[in-house]
Chains A and B, each alone.
Chain A
Amino acid sequence: MKVSLFEQVPYRYLPAGFEDRYSSVVTTPYFDLVEPERMQESLQSGYAEMLHAARAGFDGVCVTEHSQSTYDISPNPNLMAAAVAYGTRAEGLDTAITVLGRSLGKSREPLKVAEEYALLDNISGGRLIAGFPVGLSYDANQNGAIPAIETRERYNEHRELILKAWAEPEPFAWNGRFEKYGQVNLWPRPIQQPHPPIWIPGSGSPGTLVDILRRDYAFVYLSWSGPKLVGRQVFDRYWEFAEKQGRDRNPYRLAFLQVVAVSETDASAEKEYAPHLEAHYRAGLGTVPVSGFAVPGYAEPVGIEHMIRNPGDLGMLAKMRNITYKEIVDTQVAIVGSPATVADQIEEMVRDFRIGNLLVMLQNGSMPRELTEKNISLFAEQVLPRLRPIWDEEGWENHWWPRGAEARSAVAVSGAAAGGEAR
């Protein structure tokens, strides 16, 4: 089992009642809401927490891309990833770095994505996991102004171009529908040839799952909708499709994001984290307008009709704006409690769904740095050691883990086995 810290970079000081007045994306008024010093502090805390997690023994850190949003101020995640890549290397930490990633449906310069990822792989010494997301509709189509109906076509072309640009030895011409280049010849190339491990986040639509399995990439399910409500159908479908595609049941084919908040006891966890979690969901995902997930043309008509006829597929997403702490924990939108409570719930879910790569989100909305670092430390010291060996007895190899980060995991595993210390 590999466990990475998933870090988004929100502005941590949104006013109370934000969700009654604003949308969290595209139209949120910056100067009305932001104090410059607090923005700096919010952003710097995110970088510090990632390094804290690397030092505490996490297998990896993971960042995402969103423009014009309050909940993840990360217009280019490769900027953060570069800082973390160099910072960890300087400290001798070979933590994996997952960029989940530059949106290829939104990008107008796909070769920049190829170059940036290749650079990261070099700076980090081969520790990059390359995420290839399509991009959320509001980000690709509103912020990026891509006609919604072209999002997927651009994604497909850009991914193909990047893969070729990483591995093709000779300069080549690219006459695409969206991109035309006379001589493509990247410097540098990724250390991991022909390409770093590729992770593809998605909502679990059949077309995406088949594409991932056919190409032997890893599927990342970034769901904030509550695994109890939506996990069963998405993961069962994935493993069923894997069998149909002739793929094995290697759990490392699957990565899953889970929000976690851990404290000394169940009671102290609720006391410390409940207000932050409620505020985070209400003001973050809760205020992304419905159209933000599907500007007309982004989703195929059969997909939209299916969504309208099966509102349960959205899990808690539809009611995030008014979500309560009780609903958050009952549906496991977040797993909250003592180390034992948290480890029990995660282990059950991980085994049930066959998750080999776990992403845990330990900072949410208004959570301050001290509390976040406590969450990270407690998780690393008391939860991580219980999760690491989960798949060991089945003996699978993680083909979706970067080669430059393999040594670290061995150290971490032996450390955990020896004394319960992550490092």
Chain B
Amino acid sequence: MSTGTAEVRDEVVEVCDGRISLHVKVAGEGPPVVFFHPLPGLEWQPLLDRLAEQHTVYAPEHPGTTPGDPQAIREVHTMWELLLAYEEAFRALGLDRPSVVGMSFGGMVAADLASSFPQALSRLVLMSPIGLWRDDAPIRLVEMITGPPEELPRYLFKYPESEAARALMALPDDPDQVPTAIAQGAWNVGCTTKFAWPIADHGLARRLHRIAVPTLVLWGRDDALVPAVYAEEFARRIEGSHVEVVDDCGHAMQGDQPEQTFSLVTDFLR
């Protein structure tokens, strides 16, 4: 995998009684941080390089999103089974109460994991997570995914033309690789939306009170996908949590306000 600064290696752990070979990208040295990726799959990105400067980063690939193993998603039937798979993976990797960072879809996974297994982690960062629902603040997930591709950046970024945003949306330079990348990207979204379609509400609101670790809730004030009102919805259910709403920032915070976002995350985990 090409990276900015960190050397990234691939670890494979068998979970779900051997039915799934979970691929985990690992980089850096230091106290462990687990990163749960958003809907389109794992993209090794500058936030992870930054975390790897002071931590060992473990970034699992959601079942089915690992190239060459698309059918692994068939072995995860429910959200509950997904959480069990990750809890098993923590133990298989020898992770003793790591910090956990989750982004968007990965934020929902991280929050539900922390609610279901409160002893499995030590700190939690939720970056504009899905997982709750308010009728007066609908999350436009279906509209984004079924809408015209050219409108996608407007859901994700306040500044879709910024260098950071364009880098996050980039397709391969080699034209022959583009169809493969598009097909993989679409499949990845199929694998993640399996647990988010059409509304990503698995009753998380009724479990969040179980979270028992220091928690940082991050949001972009101008989030066009998951409105920033959800920051307070998470915070008021997680005792002692801290909220930061970043100005001039959309859903993909690492694209719109990279420096501020990186600092907030790394400072909290330090």
Given A295-B145, A297-B187, A304-B186, check contact A147 B179 (CB 8 Å).
no
Given A142-B146, A308-B179, check contact A149 B194 (CB 8 Å).
yes
A279 and B183 alpha carbons, distance in the complex (Å)? 32
**Minimal beta-carbon separation of A176 from chain B (angstroms):** 12
A301 and B146 alpha carbons, distance in the complex (Å)? 17
Residues on B with C-beta less than 8 A from A304 are 182-183, 186-187
- Give the size range of A's interface with the partner: 20 to 34
A298 and B183 alpha carbons, distance in the complex (Å)? 11
CB <8 Å contact, B194 and A296: no
A309 and B187 alpha carbons, distance in the complex (Å)? 16
CB <8 Å contact, B77 and A177: yes
CB <8 Å contact, B146 and A145: no
CB <8 Å contact, B190 and A298: yes
A304 and B181 alpha carbons, distance in the complex (Å)? 10
Given A296-B189, A304-B183, A305-B180, check contact A291 B194 (CB 8 Å).
no
Chain B: interface secondary structure? helix
Residues on B with C-beta less than 8 A from A297 are 186-187, 189-191, 193-194
A294 and B185 alpha carbons, distance in the complex (Å)? 13
A296 and B191 alpha carbons, distance in the complex (Å)? 8
A297 and B40 alpha carbons, distance in the complex (Å)? 12
A309 and B179 alpha carbons, distance in the complex (Å)? 7
The chain A residue with its CB closest to the CB of B186 is A296
- Give the size range of B's interface with the partner: 20 to 34
A302 and B67 alpha carbons, distance in the complex (Å)? 11
A305 and B198 alpha carbons, distance in the complex (Å)? 25
A298 and B180 alpha carbons, distance in the complex (Å)? 16
Assess whether A148 is interfacial by the CB under 8 Å rule. yes
CB <8 Å contact, B70 and A301: yes
Assess whether B166 is interfacial by the CB under 8 Å rule. no
> Which residues, 141 to 155 on B, are CB-close (under 8 Å) to A?
142, 145-148
The chain B residue with its CB closest to the CB of A26 is B146
Assess whether B115 is interfacial by the CB under 8 Å rule. no
Interface string of B110-126 (1 = CB under 8 A from A): 00000000000000000
Residues of B within 8 A of A (CB): 64, 70, 73-74, 77, 142, 145-148, 178-180, 182-184, 186-191, 193-195, 197-198
Ordered by A's residue number, 12 sampled pairs between the chains whose C-beta atoms are within 8 Å are: A142-B146, A145-B197, A147-B194, A148-B197, A149-B194, A295-B145, A295-B146, A295-B190, A296-B189, A301-B70, A301-B183, A304-B183
Residues of A within 8 A of B (CB): 26, 138, 141-142, 145-150, 153, 177, 289, 291-292, 294-302, 304-305, 308-309
